[in-house]
Amino acid sequence: MTEYHYLEVEGLNVFYREAGDPGKPVILLLHGFPTSSHMFRDLIPVLAEGYHVIAPDYPGFGQTTSPDRSSFSYTFDHLTEIIAAFIERLGLTKYALYVFDYGAPIGFRLAMNHPDDVTAIISQNGNIYEEGLGKKWAARAEYWRNPTPQKRESYRSAFEADTIKSQYLDGTQANRVSPDGYNLDIAYMSRSENDEKQLDLIFDYQNNIKMYPLFQQYLREYQPPVLAAWGKNDVSFIPEGANAFKKDVPDAEIHLLDTGHFALETHANEIGELIGAFLKKYDIL
């Protein structure tokens, strides 16, 4: 049974979902944009049979405190600091990382800073390679080079209702995706003053791409077990990003699934089974 908790971390109430036997190996699930730990609602019961599963919400997302921009810097470095403090507060010293979307630059910062703590990395459309960036990223790169107020304003479209819905539905079979996930995300994104926080993170994403070579160096040096379970119809993070893991971890296991960006909406059981077999192969039991 999944439990729902809050933990005080640096003055914030960090919400997290927890399931499974605390004596089992830990899997830390890191969500993406524009969602929360709710995205793992179908995967958690599958993994909890053999693992201790923990899924936090970041500041500004889901049920975690959403501090004002005047007192909290919305950058990926800062989100990582909060999640690192959360991990320390829970006393986690060994864990596998499941990274998706925004969870990838956060998770790879954690892994790079604490390589001995990470037992494995599962990437589900969690990109760290330039070849994995879809066509939309060329426009964002131009925005980062020339960050005018008008261009910043244009990125409000990223968290409009139609955009969020399309993130869930694009690349999936008709009538396979529940509306619960995208409607909840739409509600979260429409909260007062959330827009500027999200625009800050969109602008800061450029620093994730600048860190790609460091993330890749971490992989080459430490060779953690890597599983990429990837929605191959994702237009944001295209399949080349999954295949690229083999450049740095030749034994990386790659699975391209016939679905879109939010692969768990249609393939939670399949991805859960892939994770179980993968971790068993590396004796993470």
SS3 174: coil
Q: Could you give phi then psi for residue 254, rounded to 5 degrees?
A: -115, 130
The predicted model scores a pTM of 0.98
Options 3.90.400.10, 3.40.50.1820, 2.60.40.420, 3.40.50.410; CATH for 3-281 is: 3.40.50.1820
SS3 6: strand
Sign of CA dihedral 160, 157, 106, 230: positive
C-alpha to C-alpha distance for 119 and 127, rounded to whole angstroms: 19
Q: How far is CA 70 from CA 10, 74, 197, 202, 207, in A?
A: 16, 10, 10, 18, 21
The helix or strand, by DSSP H or E, that contains position 254, with its residue range, turns out to be strand 253-257
Q: Could you give phi then psi for residue 46, rounded to 5 degrees?
A: -70, -45
One DSSP character per residue, 94-117 reads SEEEEE-TTHHHHHHHHHHH-GGG
C-alpha to C-alpha distance for 177 and 136, rounded to whole angstroms: 23
User: Can you read off the two tokens belonging to residue 84?
Assistant: 């690192």
Reference 229, options 18, 29, 22, 24; nearest CA is 29
Model pLDDT, residue 162: 97
Within 8 A by CB and 6+ apart from 99, the residues are: 30, 106, 107, 108, 121, 122, 123, 124, 126
- Domain ranges across the chain: 3-281
Give the confidence band of 211 by pLDDT, cuts at 50, 70, 90. very high
Give the confidence band of 15 by pLDDT, cuts at 50, 70, 90. very high
Q: Do the Cβ atoms of 186 and 168 come closer than 8 Å?
A: no
Model pLDDT, residue 232: 98
pLDDT in tens, 218-227: 999 999 999 9
pLDDT in tens, 41-64: 999 999 999 999 999 999 999 999
Model pLDDT, residue 122: 99
Scan for tokens 């529940």, then name that residue: 178
What residues act catalytically?
261
Percent of the chain at pLDDT > 90 equals 100
